[in-house]
């Protein structure tokens, strides 16, 4: 099937979601944060290309969905929604104008697709190497430091200058907080055959002058981060997508055997 374009708020996508729900299918929770499902399909739903709607439905109900984005320091943001199921994968490439291109791909193509997102020469583009994290390696502002920054900003300073003025701040943490380098993010939801074992991960990466840093969970002034190997972006995203493909195949086999 050739790639096609359909914005996430388009009638085609919304109708595909509504019809999937009405047929008893569960949308992946990550997709539910990105689209609005109408109470009923639109009256013109029958006019949609059935192949396009089928592909979108595959994406929305996939057991593995990842939202991956890369924001180069000097270029446009690249944002992909990658849905992995037993048949392969569906890649939704979102653009700044709200449009989104949908393409079916083989699961084996996903590592190359992820690698193509990172700017050449960036810390994000280093060969895959996942870093082990621990409380001992956590970098984090204290509540007192957060209050110092807030007070300085309230008196007219920029956040960067307020951070730069903090005494005794860990050099790596200062580098991470003030960096204007390449950035990346991942949000992924995996649904194994036992749904109660579902896994959700949100992780962000920041390229600094001293190294690459990652943080989990939502952005916030007290969000801790870790200095990681330069290959941690690929070393995290690619294995998780490969695990998603394994989970999807296992789920399909379990369903076929029942």
Do 25 and 148 reside in the same domain of the chain?
no
pLDDT 10s digits, 233-256: 999 999 999 999 999 998 877 765
Average pLDDT on 143-156 reads 91
Residue 231 maps to a domain: yes
| 161 and 226 share one domain | no
200 located within any domain: yes
Q: Which residues contact 142 (CB under 8 A, 6 or more apart)?
A: none
Q: Does residue 60 fall inside a structural domain? A: yes
* Domain count for the chain: 2
42 and 152 part of one domain: no
Q: What is the pLDDT of residue 31?
A: 96
Please check whether residues 91 and 40 belong to one and the same domain: yes
Three-state secondary structure call for residue 202: strand
Whether 164 and 119 map to the same domain: the answer is no
Cα 243 from Cα 211, distance rounded (Å): 28
List, for residues 47-65, the tens digit of each pLDDT value.
Answer: 789 999 999 999 999 999 9
Domain that holds residue 161: 143-177
Would you say residue 258 has pLDDT above 60?
A: no
Per-residue model confidence (pLDDT) at position 45: 54
How far apart CA 4 and CA 24 sit, in angstroms, is 26
| 213-225 b/e (C-beta count within 10 Å ≥ 16 → b) | bbbeeeeeeeebb
What residues are paired with 205 via a beta bridge?
184, 214
Q: Does some domain include residue 76?
A: yes
Out of 31-45, 46-60, 138-152, 198-212, least confident range: 31-45
On whether residue 138 sits in a domain, the answer given is no
Same domain, yes or no, for 97 and 152?
Answer: no
Instruction: Looking at the structure, tell me whether residues 191 and 173 fall in a common domain.
Output: no
Q: How far is CA 216 from CA 219, 222, 240, in A?
A: 8, 11, 15
Find the farthest-apart pair of alpha carbons in the chain and give their distance in angstroms, rounded: 66
For 174-230, what is each residue's pLDDT tens digit?
999 999 999 999 999 999 887 788 999 999 999 999 999 999 987 765 678 999 999
Closest CA relative to residue 117, chosen from 165, 82, 161, 159: 82
Instruction: Residue 150: count other Cβ atoms within 10 Å of its Cβ.
Output: 13
Query: In this structure, are 164 and 225 located in the same domain?
Result: no
Angle at 99 between CA 95 and CA 104, to 5 degrees: 90
What band does 98 get if pLDDT is binned at 50, 70 and 90?
confident
The percent of residues above 90 in pLDDT, for the chain, comes to 71
Q: Indicate whether 47 and 172 sit together in one domain.
A: no
Based on the fold, state whether residues 53 and 103 are members of the same structural domain.
Answer: yes
Which pLDDT value is given to residue 20?
94
* 97 and 154 housed in the same domain: no
Q: Are residues 95 and 189 in the same domain?
A: yes
């Amino acid at each position: 099937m050739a790639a096609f374009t359909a914005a996430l708020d388009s009638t085609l996508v919304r109708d595909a979601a509504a019809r999937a729900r009405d047929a008893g299918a569960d949308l992946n929770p990550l997709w539910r944060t990105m689209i609005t499902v109408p109470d009923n399909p639109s009256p013109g739903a029958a006019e949609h290309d059935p192949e396009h709607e089928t592909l979108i439905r595959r994406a929305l109900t996939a057991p593995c969905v990842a939202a991956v984005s890369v924001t180069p320091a000097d270029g446009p943001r690249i944002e992909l929604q990658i849905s992995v199921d037993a048949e392969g994968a569906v890649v939704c490439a979102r653009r700044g104008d709200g449009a989104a291109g949908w393409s079916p791909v083989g699961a084996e193509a996903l590592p190359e697709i992820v690698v193509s997102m990172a700017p050449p020469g960036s810390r994000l583009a280093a060969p895959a190497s996942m870093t082990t994290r621990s409380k001992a390696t956590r970098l984090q502002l204290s509540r007192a430091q957060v209050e110092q920054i807030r007070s300085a900003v309230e008196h007219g300073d920029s956040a960067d200058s307020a951070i730069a003025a903090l005494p005794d701040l860990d050099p790596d943490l200062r580098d991470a907080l003030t960096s204007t380098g390449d950035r990346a993010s991942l949000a992924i939801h995996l649904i194994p055959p036992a749904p109660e074992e579902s896994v959700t991960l949100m992780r962000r990466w920041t390229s600094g002058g001293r190294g690459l840093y990652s943080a989990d969970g939502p952005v916030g002034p007290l969000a801790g981060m870790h200095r990681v190997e330069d290959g941690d972006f690929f070393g995290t995203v690619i294995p998780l997508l490969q695990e998603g493909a394994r989970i999807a195949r296992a789920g399909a086999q379990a369903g076929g055997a029942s």
